[in-house]
Structure 1
């Protein structure tokens, strides 16, 4: 059986793309500075997290602002090491106020590089983007 779906796709405007790109530029800068509380300012709480654990099971959780700050501070360290991100992002706009963004990134800290692939769900509220869901493999044992 074949189903023909109505044309429901959203085509982002140049301003949609620019505003989302600007959001990620700011978030990456805060991440590089390890400004975890300022990173939290760019989120909607409770924040949804989706990952998998070391046993290979899918996991999900919600963090409040305090959990985000505590866990991300532990993950990102104390800020003594230099950290940079090089990212290629592929946004899929569901509407002018919702986007799923797939990211392939190289994180380098003190000369050691790590490849990352993740997705974020962002929502726009009062004209400002905020991330609401983080999706990345390998975090499940922390959820």
Structure 2
């Protein structure tokens, strides 16, 4: 009888040990469940630049070149309202001052008009500005332009580069962002109280 009890106890102990060992190993043996439904692959042709490739770069470049010619005309004739109408507000502008300190901010229509009208009203009549843009077409409605400009005033002649982002809204190309060096810290003609930078005007 004692021998039978010993055999039963040993059997229970062995089976318990085996069960515990199997339980400890089970997580390592488990494999992730697989399903027949897999996540769809990303289609790069339907998002971002892949979905908005230019359809007619030649035509877009022609339109942008015409845009710059009109800007020359507005500057030559002092047509301030036409220049404002060719801007998509809010306008983002970036510049730096003569010490190389960068400035950048967003302008509402009212802020931009208040800042620029005095410059247009006091523009020398014999100032001539020509543009030679290099256009990078991002899409049918987004264009980057690097402008090699020339400003001539009497015997003075200055050349330089500006950059801009143009957007096509309601069928018309317009300024959306302008990047021009050297205008930081300037006040409109006739302003008093010291130079006011674009960023100071925002505070």
Shorter-chain TM-score tier: 0.7 to 0.9
Q: What root-mean-square deviation, in Å, do the aligned CA atoms of Structure 1 and Structure 2 show? A: 2.3
Matched residue SS, 1:118:
strand
1:89 aligns with 2:137: no
Question: Within 1, Cα distance between the matches of 2:86 and 2:55?
Answer: 24
Q: Determine the structure 2 residue equivalent to 1:35.
A: 79
Structure 1: give runs of 5+ residues left out of the alignment: 1-5
1:45-89 deviations in Å (ceiling 9; x for gaps): 111001112342221111222332232233345345222222221
Whether 1:73 aligns to 2:114 is: no
Equivalent position of 1:140 in the other structure: 184
In 1, Cα distance between equivalents of 2:77 and 2:63 = 21
Q: 2: distance between equivalents of 1:18 and 1:91?
A: 10
Normalized per residue, which structure has more strand? Answer: 1
More helix by share: 2
Displaced runs of 4 or more, over 6 A: none
Taking structure 1 as the reference length, what is the TM-score of the superposition? 0.83
Larger relative contact order (Cα-Cα within 8 Å, sequence gap ≥ 6)? 1
Structure label with greater radius of gyration? 2
Gap runs ≥5 in structure 2? 1-44, 186-196, 199-203
3-state SS in 2 of match to 1:140: coil
Aligned residues: 139
Provide TM-score, normalisation by structure 2.
0.60
